[in-house]
Amino acid sequence: MARETLNILIGGEAGQGLVTVGELLARCLVRSGRHLQVTQGYMSRIRGGHNTFVLRTSVHEVPAPAEGFDLVVALDPATARIHEPELKPEGLIVVDEAWGLTGGNLWAVPYKTLASGRYMNTASLGVIGALIGLGTPVLLAALEKAFGKKHPDQAAENANTLEKAYAWTRENRSDGFHLAPAQPGPTRLILNGNDAISLGAMAAGVRFCAFYPMTPATTIALNLADRAAKLGLVVEQAEDEIAAVNMAVGAAYTGLPSLVSTSGGGFALMVEGISLAAMLETPLVAAVIQRPGPATGLPTRTAQADLEYVLFSGHGEFPRAIFAPGTIDQCFHRTVQAFHLAEDSQGPVFILSDQFLSDSLRDTAPFDLASVTAVNPADRHRAALEAMGSADPSAPYQRYALTPSGISPRLLPGLSEHLVVSDSDEHTEDGHLTEDLDVARKMVEKRLKKADLIRSRIVPPDFWGDDPADLLLVGWGSTLGAMIEAGQSLRDRGRRVGVLHFSQVWPLAPEQFLVRLESAGRVVAVEGNATGQLANLIRRETGFRIDAVVLRYDGLPLTPEFILRGLEE
Amino acid sequence: MARETLNILIGGEAGQGLVTVGELLARCLVRSGRHLQVTQGYMSRIRGGHNTFVLRTSVHEVPAPAEGFDLVVALDPATARIHEPELKPEGLIVVDEAWGLTGGNLWAVPYKTLASGRYMNTASLGVIGALIGLGTPVLLAALEKAFGKKHPDQAAENANTLEKAYAWTRENRSDGFHLAPAQPGPTRLILNGNDAISLGAMAAGVRFCAFYPMTPATTIALNLADRAAKLGLVVEQAEDEIAAVNMAVGAAYTGLPSLVSTSGGGFALMVEGISLAAMLETPLVAAVIQRPGPATGLPTRTAQADLEYVLFSGHGEFPRAIFAPGTIDQCFHRTVQAFHLAEDSQGPVFILSDQFLSDSLRDTAPFDLASVTAVNPADRHRAALEAMGSADPSAPYQRYALTPSGISPRLLPGLSEHLVVSDSDEHTEDGHLTEDLDVARKMVEKRLKKADLIRSRIVPPDFWGDDPADLLLVGWGSTLGAMIEAGQSLRDRGRRVGVLHFSQVWPLAPEQFLVRLESAGRVVAVEGNATGQLANLIRRETGFRIDAVVLRYDGLPLTPEFILRGLEE
Amino acid sequence: MVDIKEYGQFETAWCPGCGNHQIIQAVKRALAEEGLRPRQVLMVSGIGQAAKSPHYLRANVFNGLHGRALPAATGARLANPGLKVLIESGDGCSYGEGGNHFLAGIRRNIDVTYIVHDNQIYGLTKGQASPTTEFGFVTKAQPQGVFNTPFNPVAAAVGLRCGFVARGFSGDVDHLAGLIRAGMAHRGFALIDVLQPCVSFNKVNTFAWYKKRVQPLGPEYDPADWAVALQTAHEWGDRIPLGVIYRDETRVPLEDRIPALASGSLIGRPVNQTVLAEIMREYE
Amino acid sequence: MVDIKEYGQFETAWCPGCGNHQIIQAVKRALAEEGLRPRQVLMVSGIGQAAKSPHYLRANVFNGLHGRALPAATGARLANPGLKVLIESGDGCSYGEGGNHFLAGIRRNIDVTYIVHDNQIYGLTKGQASPTTEFGFVTKAQPQGVFNTPFNPVAAAVGLRCGFVARGFSGDVDHLAGLIRAGMAHRGFALIDVLQPCVSFNKVNTFAWYKKRVQPLGPEYDPADWAVALQTAHEWGDRIPLGVIYRDETRVPLEDRIPALASGSLIGRPVNQTVLAEIMREYE
Ligand SMILES: Cc1ncc(C[n+]2csc(CCOP(=O)(O)OP(=O)(O)O)c2C)c(N)n1
Ligand SMILES: Cc1ncc(C[n+]2csc(CCOP(=O)(O)OP(=O)(O)O)c2C)c(N)n1
Ligand code: SF4
Ligand code: SF4
Ligand SMILES: [Mg+2]
Ligand SMILES: [Mg+2]
């Protein structure tokens, strides 16, 4: 019987190429009409150790990673040993005959006879493809797309190896793991959270990105660097995170939509710059991709433990917004929103993601680029200039004019006769430093007033499931899918379950969700941290005390199974 | 009729010596048995501008600064102009005859005839001393203590000038501003908040302080540097705040009770180091002296706007404590407690003060040094070593041994055969880096477990006034005195008023205060910020919503009058 | 040449007698003489006494964080290479808190003119030692005197092959204005370390102290000779050489290397939808 | 001499063929040959591949934050001058994120031996340019090649008159162990920049590339001559000199200048109650 869903783990040492095999397989699955969600687990090293690339694939949508594997493809003997306990009863571990391993669930492949050295991974792909019933055309096409241009000399051998491994597998094991047939629908994208954030930034008109490498945030900057020349943007690797954020504020002051990307420890060094952006009222988007702390912690694992840290980062008081996407689509769209909100509120806006989502390749419908408007500070500059009409250019331009909304018309330096003065000290309306305490008070109020705009645009939390619910799961960011799947499985058992997911975690608008909390039988927060940060924030904002928490803080993503176990406790 | 209380403002340009005059006067007042509270207002410049030194003095205790001046001593004409509106109806502005100012409340002194150039300030002191009825002996003694050793050549001329100015004043204006007589009691200290924090640190056994200059925190380090040689401690000016905090963590790891002092912007750069201290489980005391932000803000003014910022500083999750002294005595004792708690909980502990308190000279009873025990990591090292008994020194010492309390016996490096291994990555019990996620989970729990110890030692908020109260004022840190005085003035008008003051703002123990909130008629938070940070924190921790707030955020300290006006609104 | 009056006249918060007064004068003169109008100029600074300078002339101003003027200036220059970007900040700001950016900025060779008001002290915070404070100098923070070897910024910059390295003196406005003009004319990172008496906190390196020692390099001096420049840069004693100590016109500024900037400033450039769609298709 | 076995043998997380394997070997040998026992040694590091080194020998370990090894080591040394403090970290950690501490540490002249594993790349984060990466080197973060002038740490340190500056090569363990011993013997800040092939991310500066160029300085070379040292330090091309490039034994380490440390480590020293009471009386 064909399988609707398969959970496939590819495991091996860093450097063995398991990501290459995994990505090829991912592409084949999506091309052949299946849905997909990838979970990557890797160590903070370049060679050796034990890494995993898990593909959960289905003819239906795949909301979350899951426990228990149907197939374990071991690129090294350790993988077989480590993941044997996680194998489903009917599962299979594909190993290399050469290792001489034996056991009930092991299936040995004579790789040596199928491929030579550098083509081993191609053989693996052939084996897996055949096992799960993908056709050779889709496999070959994927190989060609990946290596055709880069290594044309290896094309023939690659194809040969693939076909050989494929054929061998079909002959020796044709049963058990075939995926149910699917019709390839309209084109789907395959991309991970960081890809989608990068694409969102590009669509939103990002023109400047400064960064200092830090896992799991680096790939955002690398994505942009890769397209910098053709799309017309500047990506600068800074000497440290302090330089990165100050460069970005400098570029933003001058008129470029700007982005910084980092993780917890690097963000620490940006905290002063965040406060600077707030004081200068400069738009700035900061993507903070979480990993477990404190300090260096687990640099390649996932966590949701920096919500409060980001929310209260920066000395002094100023408004901000924090988006916490839970899907690839949200990664894209929240990023676009972040750029607009930063521009409109003239201040810092955050995208808070995590390693799991950042590395999780998924299939998604192409983004409707035509519907996205890019921010363009120069347009606003022109509009503001026009509004000023024949204002005397020798009268100092009031960059920080006190307005009812708290938002002042923003000109850009060098683009008109008006001089743009910005100062990190408290300042008068014209931007010059002041120690007039009455002005200081008004400026504090002006900056905080901008919260109104931010509040008027809050993305409400998404609700899924039964309303009212006996059990309401509440979460944010990357846990969305796991909550929904856990919820569904309880609903299948007859319970009334709802899921409330925040893809914007600050500010909170109680009127958007409080009644759901109050009307639910039992409310449980599901978070990737050890203290229940969203739960605490909800209490701070509404007084509502969430009944219980399911928390994960071992560096792994929440799974439906983990949530269900947690609910039973 | 003699006055029980006087509010005296000395004003002038930076560099005119108003602090010298003010400090001399302060000493004379305290020596002659009066109580005192000083409020300093100065600009971010070295010469010129307009600075103030306000002495509120009384035969009773002086809890807070107050509005309205009895005497304005103008060292420059601007002072007379600026502060005229703040003069009480019967008040007097002392000016220099030479300026040619006239007006009802002005009293011109012919300084030129009383003193020559460098002795002008001495003449001022003589005039004020005579006006408020201090005797010449106490004035001369203060002069001698201040300048006797440094400038013996000027002693005679100083004394002459003082006596001349004194005599002239007695002749020309003997009425109105004499302080009621007081009996000098047991010796009182005259010191400000930063002095008391420094003294507390020294008493607690601080051995290492690293800092980067930043107003209003610098004087803590300068106080320590001044005594470093004689008391045996190392004070190092670092190249930046990042270096400062990492030096301190390095010194603390090695076995020295360590302190960093800074303000908001500098603290931003320490945030990563705070997370490091938490991860390495290294004791560290950080004194954060608040000033208004964001960014550079108002570098020489006061604020209480960094409570949440400090509370959630550092990525990842770990326990901490934050003390917020409201008096000089609390500055001393909370600092001592901070060192003990940092040592016992093996992690970061904060002292959160502000510019107002840091510069506010007050009279205080000498601290009972004999009752203070200094922390001594070496003692603990020895005790831990003894407890290990004949443990095999070749078996790796478990710096991060999992214990029920979360606290592991701490040895110091180099002092025994045992090697001390600390790593900012997640680590095993022996301190070496690990990517074992099961161990990671246990280590998260271990670190958070230490919150139990911290919770067991919470300093409860102080309560003053009527219980139950119709009106309960709730605040933290330096606003204590202003709340009490505002409260008293309402009680004088027949209302039942209470004041709840937190000198420790984290963690909060609802059982220590919630019933007071619940039983009060109306609860009003009084804070030096624009968002009500303590009020929000209380809601987060208890669900209790404080009814109203009186907030000040113009850079000036809360006064009783400000609170009373705020309550009326 | 632009009328210097365009740059205005302002009251300052500096002490009377402070060298800063002359430096700002020299800056204004240099800007006017270069024919720059205020709208073309962006003055960037950090925090400190020197860092207040941009408030005392008419120009676009970015007065950022202590120690962080250079990265902000870098971002601004990369955003709009049409702006003439000058930095004015103190020795503490530039070589202390900002030391890492100083190293990186020279390597990056961004086209900014960096004028450091070097009073060998932290002025605004009341007189602690800065990186350039002399060995043994006593302050409240260094009661036993400074233990560290002083930083010689000119020597460090020449060592790093910074394309333009000069030393000026606030006491010689004409000479200084000339250096600033030369620095602005240089395409790439230009460092001008300006010796500046601080009358309030530096009672050692006074106006007289400098006056006695500074000595402008003569016309025979060839700033293109790196070995000689290195030697000259290390001179610091009875004679302190002033002038352009090293100049290398062959270094290409960063702005010229970045493909996206080949057609000028990115400000207002609309997103190329075709390219964007292409990029998205890479993920199919 | 201590048995090198005391320092143990550990599995590492490094790639096979990485130069780090030899460096740690040289460190262990140097420690043993200097007669130091593990308990006397404190190994400090930041974050990166190189920074994992302290986990691969038996010693006291402080593995701190990326870029911050030196300040932590400074604090530790000032706390306990009885400890022999060595730092091992990468070029990115030491000259990139930690650049400001590098400048300050040399000026401060704290007595630590700083061994930089200089693979001219950010290894652990998968191959972005570091400050020492060569001009034009292409990475995913620098797709047009590195635009910055590479940082020559040896030249910078000599320029700052660092008291001990050496360059080693992971491919010559004997020579390197000798340098480390000499660095440890030096009283004050000792920099040893170690050329280290990264087989995974630096395909330009390979073992063969280095091997062809490195050339140990002969016995005739006088590291006390600063001018010669400066010149030698700037040599980087077909010939790359190895060895102690500069040494100045006259510089006094910071530890010797601090009055509180005159009688040794402060650890466990009780508070002098008489002095404390005196200090309190100053406030009467
Ligand atoms: C992050 C941070 N740390 C410290 C300060 C405090 N601070 C302000 S100015 C200054 C030193 C100024 O010295 P310098 O740069 O030499 O300028 P000068 O006042 O001497 O002109 C310091 C340390 C700050 N504003 N921000
Ligand atoms: C504050 C901070 N920023 C960034 C990182 C990410 N990071 C870890 S190692 C590293 C670079 C390592 O390069 P290098 O120091 O040269 O060491 P190598 O791996 O090459 O030995 C970076 C950027 C971090 N851990 N902390
Ligand atoms: S303190 Fe020094 S640097 Fe600052 S204004 Fe006064 S003289 Fe100038
Ligand atoms: S990535 Fe490079 S530096 Fe890191 S272990 Fe591998 S070879 Fe060595
Ligand atoms: Mg200075
Ligand atoms: Mg490296």
Chain B contacts in chain A segment 447-466 (CB below 8 A): 447-448
Q: Which of A231, A251, A432 is the closest to C78 by Cβ?
A: A251
pLDDT at D133 over 80: yes
Question: Could you check whether the bond before residue A507 is cis, i.e. omega within 30 degrees of 0?
Answer: yes
A26, A185, A189, A191 from A365: Cα distances, Å:
15, 10, 6, 10
Region C254-263 average pLDDT: 95
User: What domains sit in chain A, N to C, each tagged with a CATH number?
Assistant: 5-172 (3.40.920.10), 191-364 (3.40.50.970), 377-455 (no CATH), 462-568 (3.40.50.920)
Q: Is D141 on the interface with C (CB under 8 A)?
A: no
Comparison of pLDDT for D1 and B469, the residue scoring more: B469
Q: What is the dihedral of CA B89, B94, B95, B101, to 10 degrees?
A: 30
The confidence score (pLDDT) of residue A185 equals: 86
**What confidence tier does C78 reach under pLDDT thresholds 50, 70, 90?**
very high
pLDDT, averaged in runs of 10, over chain A (569 residues): 93 94 96 96 95 97 96 97 96 96 92 90 95 94 87 88 95 87 91 98 98 98 98 98 98 98 98 98 98 98 98 98 98 98 98 98 97 96 90 84 98 96 98 97 98 98 96 98 98 98 98 98 98 98 97 98 95
Region B8-23 average pLDDT: 95
Give the nearest ligand 2 atom to B272 CA.
1
The confidence score (pLDDT) of residue B394 equals: 74
pLDDT at D32 over 80: yes
Query: Is the CB of residue A401 less than 8 Å from the CB of residue A411?
Result: no
Q: Which of A256, A276, A413 is the closest to C266 by Cβ?
A: A256
Q: Which residues of B touch C124 (CB under 8 A)?
A: 44-46
In what side-by-side order are the strands of the sheet with A284-290? A234-237, A208-211, A258-262, A284-290, A348-354, A321-323, A504-506
The confidence score (pLDDT) of residue C39 equals: 97
- Amino acid of residue A207: R
CATH architecture of residue range(s) C4-281: 3-Layer(aba) Sandwich (3.40)
Q: Is D159 on the interface with C (CB under 8 A)?
A: yes
**How many C-beta neighbours within 10 Å does residue B521 have?**
14
Region B221-248 average pLDDT: 98
Residue B227's contacts (CB-CB under 8 Å, 6 or more residues apart) are B202, B233, D275, D279
pLDDT at B175 over 80: no
Interface chains of chain D (3 or more CB pairs under 8 Å) = A, B, C
Among chain C residues, CA nearest to D131: C104
Query: Is the CB of residue C152 less than 8 Å from the CB of residue C76?
Result: no
Burial of D213 (0-12, 13-18, 19+ CB in 10 A): middle
Q: A232, C76, A553: which is closest to B446 by C-alpha?
A: A553
Cβ–Cβ of C71/A242 closer than 8 Å?
A: yes
Dist. CA A249–CA A239, nearest whole Å: 16
- Cα(A50) to centroid of ligand 4, in Å? 16
Burial of D132 (0-12, 13-18, 19+ CB in 10 A): buried
Query: Is the CB of residue A116 less than 8 Å from the CB of residue A158?
Result: no
Of the listed ranges A178-192, A517-531, D131-145, D171-185, the one predicted with least confidence: A178-192
pLDDT at B25 over 90: yes
Helix (H) / strand (E) containing B537: helix B533-542
In what side-by-side order are the strands of the sheet with B69-74? B106-109, B87-96, B69-74, B5-14, B48-58, B35-41, B362-364, B189-191
DSSP E strand stretches across A213-317 = 234-237, 258-262, 284-290
Q: What is the dihedral of CA A382, A387, A392, A393, to 10 degrees?
A: -20
The confidence score (pLDDT) of residue C236 equals: 96
* Shortest alpha-carbon distance between residue B304 and chain A (Å): 9
Average pLDDT of every residue of chain C: 97
- Cα(B43) to centroid of ligand 5, in Å? 18
Average pLDDT of every residue of chain D: 97
In chain D, % helix, strand, coil (3-state, to 5) comes to 40, 15, 45
pLDDT tens digit sequence for A137-166: 999 999 998 888 888 888 889 999 999 999
Query: Is the CB of residue B319 less than 8 Å from the CB of residue B308?
Result: no
Residue A41 bridge partners (DSSP): A52
pLDDT at B195 over 90: yes
Dist. CA A376–CA A365, nearest whole Å: 27
Dist. CA C200–CA B91, nearest whole Å: 35
Dist. CA C23–CA C50, nearest whole Å: 9
Region D166-184 average pLDDT: 98
DSSP E strand stretches across chain C = 41-45, 60-63, 84-90, 113-118, 164-169, 190-195, 214-216, 240-247
Q: Which residues of A touch D67 (CB under 8 A)?
A: 240
Residue position matching structure tokens 């001008």: C192
Cβ–Cβ of C100/D100 closer than 8 Å?
A: yes
Q: Do you know the residue count of chain D?
A: 284
- Cα(D194) to centroid of ligand 6, in Å? 11
Helix (H) / strand (E) containing A191: strand A189-191
Q: D95, D147, D101, D145: which is closest to D122 by C-alpha?
A: D95
Chosen from C61, C74, C110, C111 to mutate, greatest number of chain A CBs within 10 A: C61
Average pLDDT of every residue of chain B: 96
Supply the DSSP string of B126-179, one letter for each residue.
Answer: HHHHHHHT--HHHHHHHHHHHHTTT-GGGHHHHHHHHHHHHHHHHHH--SS-PB
Residue position matching structure tokens 């001593």: B73
Residue C47 in contact with ligand 1 by CB distance below 6 A:
yes
Question: How many beta-carbon pairs below 8 A join chains A and B?
Answer: 226
The pair of three-digit structure tokens given for residue D35, joined into one six-digit string = 């007669």
Q: Which ligand is nearest to the CA of C47?
A: 1
Dist. CA B446–CA B442, nearest whole Å: 6
Region D246-258 average pLDDT: 97
Dist. CA A523–CA A497, nearest whole Å: 10
**What confidence tier does B153 reach under pLDDT thresholds 50, 70, 90?**
confident
Dist. CA D163–CA D159, nearest whole Å: 11
Residue B403's contacts (CB-CB under 8 Å, 6 or more residues apart) are B446
Enter the ipTM.
Answer: 0.98
- Cα(C202) to centroid of ligand 5, in Å? 10
Radius of gyration of chain C measured on its C-alpha atoms: 20
Residue A251's contacts (CB-CB under 8 Å, 6 or more residues apart) are A207, A208, A210, A234, A258, C75, C76, C78, C79
Buried-exposed string C164-199: b where 16+ CB fall within 10 A, e elsewhere: bbbbbbbbbbebbbbbbbbbbebbbbbbbbbbbbbb
- The residue extents of the domains of chain D are 4-281
Torsions phi, psi for B288 (to 5 deg): -110, 115
Beta strand B497-502 with B504-506: parallel, antiparallel or unpaired?
Answer: unpaired
- Amino acid of residue A455: R
Query: Is the CB of residue D251 less than 8 Å from the CB of residue D64?
Result: no
Total-model pTM: 0.98
pLDDT tens digit sequence for C108-156: 999 999 999 999 999 999 999 999 999 999 999 999 999 999 999 999 9
Dist. CA B500–CA B464, nearest whole Å: 7
A46, A246, A347 from C45: Cα distances, Å:
41, 12, 20
Query: Is the CB of residue B131 less than 8 Å from the CB of residue B169?
Result: yes
Q: D147, B499, B69: which is closest to A229 by C-alpha?
A: D147
Residue position matching structure tokens 């600064």: B65
**What confidence tier does D272 reach under pLDDT thresholds 50, 70, 90?**
very high
Angle between helix axes A241-254 and A271-280 (nearest 10 degrees) is 10
- Helix, strand, or coil (residue B67): coil
Q: Is A49 on the interface with B (CB under 8 A)?
A: yes
Region B74-97 average pLDDT: 96
Query: Is the CB of residue A199 less than 8 Å from the CB of residue A248?
Result: no
Q: Which residues of D touch B250 (CB under 8 A)?
A: 44, 62, 64, 71-76, 79
Dist. CA B430–CA B400, nearest whole Å: 6
Q: Is D274 on the interface with C (CB under 8 A)?
A: no
* Shortest alpha-carbon distance between residue D2 and chain C (Å): 35
Alpha carbon A465 to its chain's center: 24
Query: Is the CB of residue D284 less than 8 Å from the CB of residue B363?
Result: no
Q: Tell me the HSE value of D67 on the side-chain side, using a 13 A CA sphere.
A: 29
In what side-by-side order are the strands of the sheet with A462-465? A462-465, A497-502, A471-476, A522-527, A548-551
**How many C-beta neighbours within 10 Å does residue A29 have?**
27
Dist. CA B108–CA B101, nearest whole Å: 8
Beta strand C164-169 with B284-290: parallel, antiparallel or unpaired?
Answer: unpaired
Helix (H) / strand (E) containing D85: strand D84-90
* Shortest alpha-carbon distance between residue B435 and chain D (Å): 11
